[in-house]
Structures are given as C-alpha cells and as structure tokens.
C-alpha cells in the first residue's frame, strides 16, 4: 500500500497542487471577489499606490512626484521589481498581478523546502494543499500588494537560517542573511516584527554553540544595518526624509489609552485570524493548547526545539502583536500569518499522529479530518471565485478613461484617491487627491488636472481644495464592486473657476456645493 502511494498517490496529489496553483493565474484583471468576508480597501488603491514609482517612470519619465504620495521612498524593493517587469511587459495590471501569482507559487516551493527535513511527505503535501486551496490566500495572492514579496523574502531567510550550521562558509551565509533581512525591511516595514522568527531559526540549531550563534547573528545584523543605513543616507542626500516621515505618519492610527483598550485591541487582532479560515484557525488554537499542556512530554519538547515550528509561532505572534500595537486590523495583513499558521497546524497534527498514546493520536486524527474537510470546502469556494469572475472595477476604469479621451478640451490628468490604480489599469495619468506631503490645494494647482473622480460622496476638505481653482461638472457614475462605501465611482470635469469679488473663501464655505457646480452626490 505504501509503495502504491509513493508511486502513484503522491505524484497525482502533487499534480493537483500544481494545477490549483496555476489556476491562480486565470482572470487576473477580474475584481477582488465580491461579497467576500474580507472588507479591505486595498482592492481599490494599494496596487497602484505601491507601484506608482514604476508607473510614473515608464509613463512620465520620472518616478518621484514632488509634494505627492511617494511610498517607494519607504518601501523601494517592490516598485523596483515592478519597474523591471514593466520594461519587459509594459505597464499593465495583469503583468503586475502575474508577478504576484508567480511569487505565490515560489512561496509554495519554499514552504515545501522548509518542511522537507522535519515532516513526512504526506504532511508536506497536506500543508501545500491547505495553502493552495485557501480562498483567503487565493483572493489576496492575486492583488499586487507588498505581503507576497515580504513572505518570499522571509521564507528564503528562514531556509538560509536553518541551513547555516551545515554550510561550509557560514560567515558568507550570514552576510547573505543580512542582505535578506535588509530586503525584507525595504519590501515592507512591518518586517521588523518578523525578525525574532529569523533569530529563533538561527538560534535553535546552534544552541550548543552560543559564541558561533552570536558571531553569525552579529554579522547578519551588521550587514542589514549597514545596508539600511546606506538607504537612509541616500534619502538624506536627495532630500526625501519628509516623504519617509509622511509614510509613517499616514500609517499611524489612534491607539488605546487604557489597559482594557490594549487588551481589546489584542483580542481583535486574534479574532482577525478567523478571516484566514473559520475552521482551521480555531483548530490551530486548540492544538496549541494541547501542545502547551503537554510540554513535559517528549513530543511537545521536540516541537519546542524544532526551529521551523518555533519560527512559525514567532512569525505569527510578531504580526499579530503589530496589528494589536497599531490597533488596526486589515485582512491583507493576515496573508503572512496565514502561511505560518498552516505550517504550525500541520506540524502539530503530524506530531500528534506519531504518538503512542491513544488519546493524542485520536486528537491528531480528528485534526487531520477537520483539515481535509476544510481543504475540500475551501477548494469549492476557490473554484467558485474562478468560475464566476466579475470585471466591474476594470470596466469602470476603462469607461472613465474613454470619457476623458472623448473630451480633449481638458487636460488628460485625473485627480483621485484611486488614481494610481486607474493608471495601472488604463494608462490614464493621475494625481492622488488625498495623500501627499503638500496641501491638496497646492498639489492641485501645481499639477493642473482636468478631471476628478470620487467614491460615492465628496470629502469637504478635498472639495474645498478643488474650489480654490475649479468648479465641478459631474459627467458619469460607474457601479463598482460591492463595498457600500465605495460602490459608485463618480467622474467630474474640472472647470477653471475665478472667484468673484465677495465670494466666500473660508474652508467651511468652499467645502460645500457651490452654485456653479453640477453635482448629484452629497458631501460626506
């Protein structure tokens, strides 16, 4: 039976995994799945925001917008990769999403490499199955966000950390590890919360050699610190520190002021793991409780000394603590947690199934059945997403661009919070009306846009900034996706406005609909 499984069962299983992974690359221009349980505004904005340096470099000849929103200053690695991609494929949302799907498939391979030494083959394949069938990961692995690249670099760093003791040149490998750590931070700044996982993966194989561990960790730390210091020096040299400061400013949210508030924030961060999977995540929590209650037993102690398992726990904890500290949970943040949670889950159930005690084996068997059932259920939901793609966002962007091109009298420049996303989809040049180091009215005067797009209603601050120079003429309304706060994209033509003598100039007055405006939506 085992021979048949090795000869036929495992190859077929692996082929199914590969096939499901490749299916992630279908319908890449489709909407994020509508009516999903994951309310994340990243599907409207973040792909364009974090690629805007590469988009500008190809379409406009410069990557930097003075006074605008320039996230590439803080997280330059992704826009650099996207710029290289655009050199080959041109500016396209399908191309950049294809790159993310390729990273997802690479991450599956890296996961298999991490587990090869510590788990039987069936457990490694089960891990890959749970990852490739996850509707949560399917939805977010097809958006061009920062998390897939961060996950790739983290898995590479963990793989290198685990193999450091067996390498002929550990010092050279430590320098490479430092390079990967620096790349992680430059890919997404939240990578600092994953560094304990890397340090733990280095420590456990070398716990009997503390001096060697400290030397290697110091080399890696110094390398990473020097590379990040060079980047910081470049920002100072080119006067970009204001953009870096602004990047962290807009990502700062109100924090709790009491112990009860912090506890509630941590609770919500833990609760957010249910976004990953409403069955597998509670199962993981129960198995972790069993493991902690059994720490005096040999199997639990062996897991506690397993560097892959410990790194998974540290990575999950780091990301959850980050979200608790920010008091700001977003589904996309859990894509990193999801991978390490599945790895930890399968390691726990595989360890339980190997135990001589009937009760522990029964717990492991039940966990295995729940995992298989969850994989079957998730496969069905993922296939539903694939079989019923919708294109309202892409259609709206194309229709909006066609409306602009049909009226050549106004400058072909769009003012919109989601403008970078529209540029990525259609090539229409855009300026962000909401984010930037300069005041909105200064950015508007400097850029001289001809068009403005808003979601559902008008923001009084943006409206006041527009009214300094323009009146609004509503042109069209486009239905987009399912978010009740962002399901109508409204296009306006900007008509130059000369304030009349005695006309109101206060912020409160300009932040309202003026007589010369033609607008059918409300000010929020």
Instruction: Please report which residue ranges of 435-482 form alpha helices under DSSP H.
Output: 440-447, 460-467
* pLDDT band for position 363 (cuts 50, 70, 90): very high
Domain boundary among 387, 402, 420: 387
Same domain, 413 and 331: no
Same domain, 427 and 377: no
Same domain, 343 and 312: yes
pLDDT in tens, 469-516: 999 999 999 999 999 889 999 999 999 987 666 565 677 778 898 888
The radius of gyration of the chain's CA atoms, rounded to the nearest angstrom, is 25
Q: pTM for the whole thing?
A: 0.95
In a domain, 133, yes or no: yes
CA atoms of 430 and 4, how far apart (whole Å): 59
* pLDDT band for position 252 (cuts 50, 70, 90): confident
Three-state helix/strand/coil letters over 38-80: CCCCHHHHHHHHHHHHHHHHHHCCCCCCCCCCCHHHCCCHHHH
Same domain, 374 and 465: no
Same domain, 382 and 400: no
Q: How many domains does the chain have?
A: 2
Same domain, 374 and 457: no
In a domain, 398, yes or no: yes
pLDDT higher at 272 or 208: 272
Q: What is the mean pLDDT of residues 217-233?
A: 95
Domain boundary among 332, 359, 387: 387
Confirm if 378 and 279 have CB atoms less than 8 A apart.
no
Same domain, 213 and 345: yes
How many Cβ atoms sit within 10 Å of the Cβ of residue 76? Answer: 17
Q: What is the mean pLDDT of residues 248-252?
A: 88
Of the listed ranges 205-219, 240-254, 468-482, the least confidently predicted one is: 205-219
Same domain, 350 and 461: no
Q: What is the mean pLDDT of residues 181-188?
A: 98
Q: What is the mean pLDDT of residues 460-474?
A: 93
149 is in which domain, residue-wise?
Answer: 40-387
In a domain, 14, yes or no: no
What confidence score (pLDDT) does residue 455 get?
Answer: 95
In a domain, 347, yes or no: yes
What confidence score (pLDDT) does residue 1 get?
Answer: 53
What confidence score (pLDDT) does residue 207 get?
Answer: 81
Same domain, 457 and 379: no
How many Cβ atoms sit within 10 Å of the Cβ of residue 456? Answer: 17
CA atoms of 452 and 434, how far apart (whole Å): 12
State the burial class of residue 40 (Cβ atoms within 10 Å of its Cβ: 0-12, 13-18, 19+).
Answer: buried
Where residue 327 falls (left for φ over 0; alpha for ψ -120 to 50; beta otherwise) is: left
In a domain, 29, yes or no: no
In a domain, 496, yes or no: yes
What confidence score (pLDDT) does residue 504 get?
Answer: 57
Same domain, 371 and 411: no
* pLDDT band for position 166 (cuts 50, 70, 90): confident
* pLDDT band for position 36 (cuts 50, 70, 90): very high
What confidence score (pLDDT) does residue 2 get?
Answer: 61
Domain boundary among 331, 359, 387: 387
Of the listed ranges 145-154, 192-201, 353-362, the least confidently predicted one is: 353-362
What confidence score (pLDDT) does residue 171 get?
Answer: 86
**Please, what is the angle between helix 93-115 and helix 121-132, to 10°?**
160
Same domain, 102 and 187: yes
Of the listed ranges 76-85, 212-221, 386-395, the least confidently predicted one is: 212-221
- For 326, the 3-state DSSP assignment is helix
Nearest to 59 by CA among 92, 24, 28: 92
């Amino acid at each position: 039976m085992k021979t048949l499984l090795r000869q036929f069962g495992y190859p077929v299983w692996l082929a199914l995994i590969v096939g499901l992974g490749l299916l992630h690359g279908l319908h890449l221009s489709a909407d994020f799945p509508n009516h999903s349980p994951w309310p994340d505004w990243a599907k409207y904005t973040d792909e364009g925001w974090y690629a805007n340096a590469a988009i500008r470099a190809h379409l406009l000849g410069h990557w930097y917008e003075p006074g605008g929103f320039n996230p590439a200053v803080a997280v330059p690695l992704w826009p650099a990769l996207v710029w290289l991609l655009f050199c080959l494929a041109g500016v396209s949302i399908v191309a950049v999403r294809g790159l993310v799907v390729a990273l997802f498939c690479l991450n599956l391979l890296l996961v298999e490499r991490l587990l090869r030494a510590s788990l039987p083959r069936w457990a490694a394949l089960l891990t890959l199955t749970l990852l490739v069938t996850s509707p949560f990961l399917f939805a977010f692995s097809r958006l061009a966000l920062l998390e897939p690249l961060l996950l790739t670099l983290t898995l590479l760093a963990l793989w290198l950390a685990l193999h450091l003791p067996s390498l002929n040149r550990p010092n050279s490998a430590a320098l490479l590890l430092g390079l990967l750590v620096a790349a992680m931070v430059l890919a997404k700044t939240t990578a600092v919360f994953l560094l304990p996982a890397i340090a733990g993966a280095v420590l456990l194989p070398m716990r009997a050699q503390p001096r060697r561990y400290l030397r290697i960790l110091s080399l890696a730390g110094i390398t990473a610190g020097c590379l990040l210091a060079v980047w910081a020096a470049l920002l100072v040299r080119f006067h970009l520190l204001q953009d870096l400061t602004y990047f962290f400013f807009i990502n700062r949210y109100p924090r709790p002021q009491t112990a009860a508030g912090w506890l509630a924030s941590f609770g919500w961060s833990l609760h957010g793991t249910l976004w990953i999977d409403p069955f597998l995540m509670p199962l993981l929590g129960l198995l972790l409780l069993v493991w902690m209650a059994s720490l005096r037993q040999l199997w639990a102690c062996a897991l506690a000394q397993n560097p892959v398992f410990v790194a998974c726990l540290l990575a999950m904890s780091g990301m959850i603590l980050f979200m608790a500290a920010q008091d700001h949970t977003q589904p996309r943040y859990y894509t990193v947690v999801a991978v390490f949670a599945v790895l930890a889950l399968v390691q726990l159930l595989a360890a339980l199934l190997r135990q001589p005690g009937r009760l522990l084996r029964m717990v492991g068997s039940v966990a295995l059945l729940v995992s298989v059932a969850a994989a079957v259920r998730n496969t069905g939901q993922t296939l539903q997403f694939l079989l019923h793609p919708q294109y309202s966002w892409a259609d709206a962007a194309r229709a909006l661009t066609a409306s602009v091109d049909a009226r050549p009298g106004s400058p072909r420049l769009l003012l919109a919070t989601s403008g970078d996303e529209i540029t990525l989809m259609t090539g229409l040049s855009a300026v962000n009306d909401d984010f930037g180091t300069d005041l909105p009215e200064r950015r508007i005067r400097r850029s001289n846009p001809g068009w403005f797009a808003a979601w559902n209603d008008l923001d009084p601050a943006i409206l006041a900034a527009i009214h300094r120079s323009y009146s609004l003429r509503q042109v069209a309304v486009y239905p987009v996706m399912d978010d009740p706060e962002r399901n109508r994209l409204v296009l306006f033509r900007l008509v130059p406005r000369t304030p009349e003598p005695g006309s109101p100039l206060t912020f409160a007055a300009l932040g309202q609909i003026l007589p010369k405006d033609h607008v059918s939506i409300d000010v929020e």
